[in-house]
Structures are given as C-alpha cells and as structure tokens.
Amino acid sequence: MKIRITSSRKRPCNFSPFADGIRRKLPDFEGRPLVLSFRPALTASGDKLYSNRPHGQPILAGSSIRKRTIVLDSELNQRRGDRLRILIHELFHFAWVRLGNPARASFERMIVREFRLGARGELGWSAQSRKLLLKGPRARARQRRLWRDYLCESFCDSAAWLYSGLPRHSEYTLARGYRARRAQWFREAFAGRRIPI
C-alpha cells in the first residue's frame, strides 16, 4: 500500500522523515494507494472540508473513504507526535470500513462490556466526545447513529494509541486494564495478516 504525500505550495514540508516514521511504526496495510495532503487552517461543516475559510468547526484532519484521501492541518507539522497519532487515526477509518461485520461485532462486544463495567475515559478526543453524547437522553434513532459513530472513533483512537508509539498523552484517559484488552483485541484481529484499507 502506498501513501502519496502532497503539501500546499505556501507551506512546503520535508516528508522523508515523516514517511519513514510511518513505515517503522505501522503494521502492514493492503489496499489501493492513498493521497495524504496538508492544508492550513482546516475546518469542517457536514461532509465538507475547508482550508483558510470561515466555515465550520476547526479540525486537525479529515478523510474521504471514497476519494481515498486524508487531509491533515499544516499545524501538525510542528507537532510531530500528534501528527503521527492523528494520521494513524485517519488510516484506521479506512480499516474500519473494510473490517467486516464479524470483527466489528467483536469490537462492539468488547466496548459494550466496558460500558457495563462502568469504564470512563477513552484513548482520544474523537471517541471521548462521542462517548459523552451517549450519556444524555436521546431519541432512539439518533442514539443508534451516535453509537455507530462512537464505535468507529473508538476503534480509530485505539489504533492510534496502540501504533503511534506515544506512551502518554493528555487524551489517553481510559484505565490501563481496558487499554490492555483493546491492545489484545487488535493483536488477535490482525494476527498474521495485513490490514485492509
């Protein structure tokens, strides 16, 4: 699997060390090439990404599964640990789509068990923000959608925690025992095979 990296002309970046760091820390992937680009001042509204425009909410990254693109905010060029962690999170959005129903159901069972045991915290802001939304009263249809979104973000944040090589981060608030179970799930789910993205 190849990742082609581009940048905005206004903010060029030396990508060689970044690309080498990706290869050293990630498991093997398989799939068609992806295009990774950096853009300044990213925001999102609905499914649309903007750069240097006064629309939407500020974000650090976004992906398009259909177009096979990942866009990272140029600010991440100054935050190397976060840059790799957020890139891994985005890569695993592609993995979630191709994971298959049995593996997704297995991941969901693990998360349901965490909820039953009263697990607090998460392994990233994306999952934590959605987890908090699940606690309030919601219409049943909306709750199902929020639950699916939470599962996906929890999967991606867990992968980013596991594969980024960052042992500590302010967003890692899930207890160690639950982290160990998630790491074991990833080892078993992808043992001896490439991760399809």
Q: Which residue has the tokens 């290869």?
A: 23
- Let me know whether 48 and 110 are in one domain: no
Residue 12 has pLDDT above 50, yes or no: no
Q: Which of 87, 107, 112 is nearest to 96 (CA)?
A: 107
Can you give the pLDDT at residue 55?
Answer: 81
- Let me know whether 9 and 93 are in one domain: yes
- Let me know whether 120 and 89 are in one domain: no
Q: Which of 53, 82, 97 is the endpoint of a domain? A: 97
Cα torsion for 51, 56, 61, 65, to the nearest 10°? -100
Out of 125-129, 138-142, 188-192, which region has the weakest mean confidence (pLDDT)?
A: 138-142
Q: Which residue has the higher pLDDT, 114 or 136?
A: 114
Q: Which of 44, 71, 97 is the endpoint of a domain? A: 97
> Quick one: average pLDDT of 69-79?
89
Residue 140 has pLDDT above 90, yes or no: no
User: With bands split at pLDDT 50, 70 and 90, how would you rate the model's confidence at 64?
Assistant: very high
User: How many distinct helices (H) and strands (E) make up the chain?
Assistant: 6, 9
Residue 141 has pLDDT above 80, yes or no: no
- Let me know whether 24 and 79 are in one domain: yes
- Let me know whether 7 and 92 are in one domain: yes
Domain span at residue 121 reads: 101-196
Q: Which of 186, 192, 184 is nearest to 103 (CA)?
A: 186
Other Cβ atoms within 10 Å of 38 Cβ, number: 25
Can you give the pLDDT at residue 3?
Answer: 59
pLDDT tens for 144-163 read: 899 999 999 999 999 999 99
Residue 194 DSSP one-character state:
P
- Let me know whether 133 and 162 are in one domain: yes
- What are residue 63's DSSP bridge partners? 70
Q: Which of 33, 68, 97 is the endpoint of a domain? A: 97
Residue 138 has pLDDT above 70, yes or no: no
Show the CA angle centred on residue 126, arms to residues 18 and 179, nearest 5°: 80
Can you give the pLDDT at residue 15?
Answer: 43
- Let me know whether 75 and 121 are in one domain: no
Q: Which of 147, 151, 153 is nearest to 61 (CA)?
A: 153
Report the domain count for the chain. Answer: 2
Cα 109 to the center of its chain, rounded Å: 20
- Let me know whether 132 and 166 are in one domain: yes
d(CA 187, CA 183): 6
- Let me know whether 105 and 192 are in one domain: yes
- Let me know whether 88 and 155 are in one domain: no
One-letter identity of residue 192? G
Out of 9-18, 61-70, 97-106, which region has the weakest mean confidence (pLDDT)?
A: 9-18
Out of 38-42, 93-97, 120-124, 179-183, which region has the weakest mean confidence (pLDDT)?
A: 38-42
- Let me know whether 26 and 66 are in one domain: yes
Q: What is the pTM of this model?
A: 0.87
Q: What percent of the chain stands above pLDDT 70?
A: 84
- Let me know whether 78 and 66 are in one domain: yes
